Amino acid sequence: MKRILLIGAGHAHLHCITHGPTEDVEWLILNASTYQYYSGMYSGLADGTYGIDEIRINVAALCRAYDKQFIEETVIKIDPVEKVVFGASGRHYTYDVVSTNIGSFDWSEDTTRLSIKPNYRLPDTLKRLQQAKRPVVLGSGAAAVEMAASLKVADVPITLITDPKLLSGHPAAEAIARRLKELDVYWIRERPIDDEPPLRFKHHPPIESDAIICLTGAKAPVLFADSKLFTQDGFLLVNEQLQALDHPSLFAAGDAATLVAYPDIPKNGVTAVRQAPILLANLLRYVQEEALQTYRPQMNYLTILSMGPRHAVSMYGNQYSTHPFGWYLKRWIDQRFMRKYRP
């Protein structure tokens, strides 16, 4: 019997867990936490729309429900030649084909600098932000403005620090700026010189903070570099079949992978969801020695930023809308996603 090993329980791997057949295939899922937190609902947790149990998936229970083996384990190295994965526990796990869907990472945490990646850090990080006297959100993208608005709605005295342009100059930036002003978010439009407190700027007085969260985009996990795999900026390079370039028995999806043919596609949950059916098909086709399918990314897709309860900015390509319907649509989409993975 062939073993398919899944490292991480990101969006693409959740699909594999619930849709992967078990006849003649053994599935082993290694994840650093029993729970997987759904990033699309972080803002709803921060503003009080959801409770913690509403935004997390019990991966261990999900695996049991679908007759797949789950082990809580942090993977620290992959040996693709011997086809062995090494865990932080000291254990090692063999495979016939392996896939990684572990997401991206933030900076290293310390007493002041907080992180929500890996996502099992979310509950503690959010609690520390809510209890801080001078909390700061760093970042100019969707995750940063969502988090700042949601915390402010919940009466957290948040400071948002961005580049001069939000969302890389997307036309929706003007509407987002209006909403931040409406919420009275303290907003500094200048990137700090470094990220060590106190935060210092060229043109703004220094900012003291007892809790800083950096949401400035995807950063590569160390797993691939530590495993001496073929990477770009630390992200595993994969082909259009989602295979590592140098080892065909290694696949990857989501944030931690970069497609050589499409290096600029966003590293976010939407991409991982779109990759999921191709990933599952190719894992099964690989062990059955069949021809693999090709992934073609969708270049435009709907993004909805929650800016507090019943407020949203919806974007598709260069178009955007501030109609409240967007907030209700996002809520419906997110809850539908979660229902798929309730064991």
Same domain, 152 and 243: no
pLDDT of amino acid 283: 98
Write out the H or E segment, with its range, that includes residue 44.
helix 42-46
**What whole-number distance in Å separates Cα of residue 266 and Cα of residue 258?**
10
Please give the tally of structural domains in the chain. 2
Residue 63 lies in a domain: no
Q: Clarify whether residues 133 and 231 are in a common domain.
A: no
28 and 161: one domain? Answer: no
Q: Are residues 151 and 23 in the same domain?
A: no
- Asked which of 88-92, 152-156, 217-221 is least confident by mean pLDDT, the reply is 217-221
Query: Is 239 found in the same domain as 322?
Result: no
100 and 17 together in one domain: yes
Same domain, 243 and 310: no
Percent of the chain with pLDDT over 90: 87
Token pair 């002003």 is found at 181
Say what the pLDDT of residue 107 is.
62
On whether residue 323 sits in a domain, the answer given is yes
Rounded CA-CA distance 236/100 in Å is 10
CA 182 to the chain's CA centroid: 28
Contact 162, 141 (CB under 8 A): no
Provide the pLDDT for residue 334: 97
Q: Average pLDDT of 176-192? A: 97
pTM of the predicted structure, to 2 decimals = 0.94
32: its two tokens: 């650093």
In tens, the pLDDT along 73-121 reads: 999 999 999 999 999 999 999 999 999 999 887 766 777 889 888 899 9
User: For residue range 233-272, what is the model confidence (pLDDT) as tens digits?
Assistant: 999 999 999 999 989 999 999 998 999 999 988 888 889 9
At how many degrees (to 10) do helices 269-287 and 11-19 cross? 40
130 and 262 share one domain: no
In a domain, 11, yes or no: yes
- CA–CA dist 4, 35 (Å, integer): 21
Q: Does 100 share its domain with 23?
A: yes
DSSP assignment letter at 167: G
Residue 312 in any domain: the answer is yes
Residue 66 lies in a domain: no
Q: Are residues 154 and 255 in the same domain?
A: no
User: Is there a contact between 8 and 31 (Cβ–Cβ < 8 Å)?
Assistant: yes
Distances in whole angstroms, Cα of residue 59 to Cα of each of 23, 75, 172, 173, 311:
21, 16, 36, 36, 31
Percent of the chain topping pLDDT 70: 99
- Residue range(s) defining the domain that contains residue 168: 113-217+300-340
Q: At what angle do helices 142-153 and 173-182 cross, to 10 degrees?
A: 20
Same domain, 94 and 182: no
Residue 59 lies in a domain: no
Same domain as 249, residue 188: no
Q: What is the CATH number of the domain that holds 16?
A: 3.50.50.60
Q: Which tokens belong to 121?
A: 């850090």
Closest by Cα among 26, 32, 9, 99 to 67:
26
Q: Give mean pLDDT, residues 174-186.
A: 97
pLDDT value of residue 312: 97
Cα 231 from Cα 46, distance rounded (Å): 34
Q: Mean of the per-residue pLDDT values for the chain?
A: 94
- Mean pLDDT, residues 50-69: 98
Domain assignment present for 198? yes
pLDDT higher than threshold 90 for residue 289? yes
Q: Is residue 46 part of a domain?
A: no
Query: By C-alpha distance, which of 190, 178, 174 is closest to 136?
Result: 190
